[in-house]
Amino acid sequence: MRHARALLIVALFSLALAAFAQEAPQASLKGKFLVADPGMPDARFAGTVIFMIAHSGEGALGLVVNRPRARRPVADVMRAFGLAPREGQGADAELELHWGGPVEGDRVLLLHSDEFKVSSTVAVAPGVALTMPKDALDAIAERRGPKHLLLAIGYAGWAPGQLERELEMKGWAVIGAGADLLFDADAAAR
């Protein structure tokens, strides 16, 4: 009798573990690329490649990395952030501004190679970090900034469970990303 009861408990425990494993949340997509399916119904994301910055049960955030919009002198970008460039600082260097996504179109995010660090720098993935642009523009203007960077206006964001539903509906392909593909390829090649 004890042996049968022990077997029953083990069987129930195994079933509970199997159910838990099926309900476990999907692994984080942080540091990966989302590539829009050719049939993407949302025209804003048609043909886009998104680098994922955050993904958890609380939602997801990424930057569109293949939609450059304009080139601007670093000095002009500094002024837009309320920074006063010194005489000649950043006048000869330009930054390429990207459309990062439809959320908060007035927010600017600086994604860059991880050899550059200041107090607001946060690691995102191997070789990739995120920094508040205002904290990095002076260094960028003086050519002491990150070796590689992507300055994005706006971002792509998903509420809890929204991205998972879009993935189930095959709206996105998930592809491993690396700093080399993110920064070394031109925007169109991404």
Domain assignment present for 166 = yes
Task: Quote the strand ranges of 30-139, DSSP E.
Answer: 32-36, 49-56, 59-64, 68-73, 94-99, 103-113, 122-125, 128-131
| pLDDT confidence bin for 148, thresholds 50/70/90 | very high
Give, as one character, the DSSP assignment of residue 78: H
Residue 63, helix vs strand vs coil: strand
Residue 134: CB atoms within 10 Å: 15
Rg, Å, the chain Cα set = 22
Indicate yes or no: pTM above 0.75: yes
**Domain assignment of residue 7, yes or no:** no
Structural domain of 48: 32-184
> Looking at the domain assignment, is residue 48 inside a domain?
yes
Instruction: Domain count for the chain, please give it.
Output: 1
What pLDDT is stored for residue 156 in this prediction? 97
In a domain, 106, yes or no: yes
pLDDT, one tens digit per residue, over 167-184 is 999 999 999 888 888 887
pLDDT tops 70 at residue 9: no
- Least Cα distance to 147 among 109, 111, 187 occurs for 111
For the beta carbon of residue 74, count every other beta carbon within 10 angstroms. Answer: 22
Residue 5 is assigned to a structural domain of this protein: no
The answer to whether 153 and 99 have CB atoms below 8 angstroms apart is yes
Residue 176 host element (H or E): strand 172-176
**67 lies in some domain:** yes
CATH of the domain at 90: 3.40.1740.10
Give domain status of residue 11, yes or no: no
Is position 42 within any domain? Answer: yes
User: Tell me, what's the pLDDT at 88?
Assistant: 67
